[in-house]
């Protein structure tokens, strides 16, 4: 029998109850310059966005209503559970990052309720490939759990903003991590785990396996949210 700890023993957070006595785990992240060059770039760009300097960009959403979204699932089909919903947004003039974690399958409903409670206040989404994946998955899984939800009023998919610039730079697979490699040469994510390995890491953990790969997947999600913010604000600054 394994002697591994639970994920909430190695990841700092707190239990929340978003409704119907269903619990999940809330992880709050600091957006700080010490986190590396993407963090510094994001913190440099954010004040202009909050001040409304990017209103001429076609893809502009006011900072008070925008929600950056990135999720992790246990597979690619619509029936596969969403076990992590990462979000970042502006609150009281500060960048805030939350990750809603299902420590087991029973907590997925609470994750979805927590996400959509926030999304009701932040009705413009920004994602990467989210129009074809994150949005449809979140809506489908919420409705499967009996949660009444509405789609976002606006949704910018960064993937579509960056396809052409990626081709111009010779990037054949314009993923967040690949663009990050080109945009910030020399920067390396700490304890990187490939996105393709994340579903298996979570499934293995639920079978009693090592929680550390799941901790690394949670860090991966936070890094993706950071880079998503950088890419969006740089697009606004460029007038896209």
SS3 17: strand
Domain presence at residue 1: no
SS3 124: strand
pLDDT at 224: 95
**What CATH number does residue 20 fall under?**
3.30.420.10
Domain presence at residue 99: yes
What is the value of pTM for the model shown?
Answer: 0.95
Domain presence at residue 204: yes
Domain presence at residue 63: yes
Domain presence at residue 124: yes
Domain count of the chain? Answer: 1
Whether pLDDT at 2 is above 70: no
pLDDT, mean of residues 97-114:
97
pLDDT at 206: 96
Domain presence at residue 205: yes
Q: pLDDT tens-digit profile of 67-84?
A: 999 999 998 777 899 999
Domain presence at residue 30: yes
Domain presence at residue 121: yes
Asked whether 4 and 210 are in contact (CB, 8 A), the reply is yes
Rounded to the nearest angstrom, the gap between the alpha carbon of residue 119 and the centroid of all alpha carbons in its chain is 13
Q: What average pLDDT is seen over the chain? A: 93
Range of the domain at 78: 7-237
Q: Where are the alpha helices (DSSP H) in the chain?
A: 37-50, 108-119, 134-144, 158-168, 176-183, 198-206, 212-237
Whether pLDDT at 1 is above 50: no
């Amino acid at each position: 029998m394994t002697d591994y700890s639970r994920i909430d023993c190695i990841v700092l957070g707190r239990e929340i109850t978003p409704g119907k006595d269903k619990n999940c785990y809330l992880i709050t992240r600091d957006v700080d310059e010490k986190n590396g060059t993407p963090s510094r770039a994001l913190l440099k760009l954010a004040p202009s966005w909050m001040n409304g300097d990017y209103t001429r960009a076609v893809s502009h959403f006011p900072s008070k209503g925008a929600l950056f979204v990135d999720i992790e699932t246990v597979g690619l089909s619509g029936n596969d559970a969403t076990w992590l919903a990462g979000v970042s947004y502006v609150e009281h003039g500060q960048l805030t990052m939350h990750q809603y974690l299902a420590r087991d399958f029973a907590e997925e409903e609470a994750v979805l309720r927590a996400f959509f409670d926030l999304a009701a206040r932040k009705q413009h989404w920004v994602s990467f490939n989210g129009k074809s994946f994150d949005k449809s998955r979140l809506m489908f899984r919420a409705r499967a759990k009996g949660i009444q939800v509405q789609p976002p009023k606006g949704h910018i998919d960064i993937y579509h903003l960056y396809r052409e610039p990626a081709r111009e730079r010779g990037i054949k697979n314009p993923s967040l991590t690949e663009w990050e490699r080109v945009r910030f040469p020399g920067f390396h994510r700490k304890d990187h785990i490939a996105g393709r390995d994340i579903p298996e890491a979570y499934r293995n953990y639920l079978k009693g396996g090592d929680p550390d790969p799941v901790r690394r997947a949670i860090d991966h999600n936070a890094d993706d949210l950071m880079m998503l913010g950088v890419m969006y604000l740089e697009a606004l600054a460029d007038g896209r």
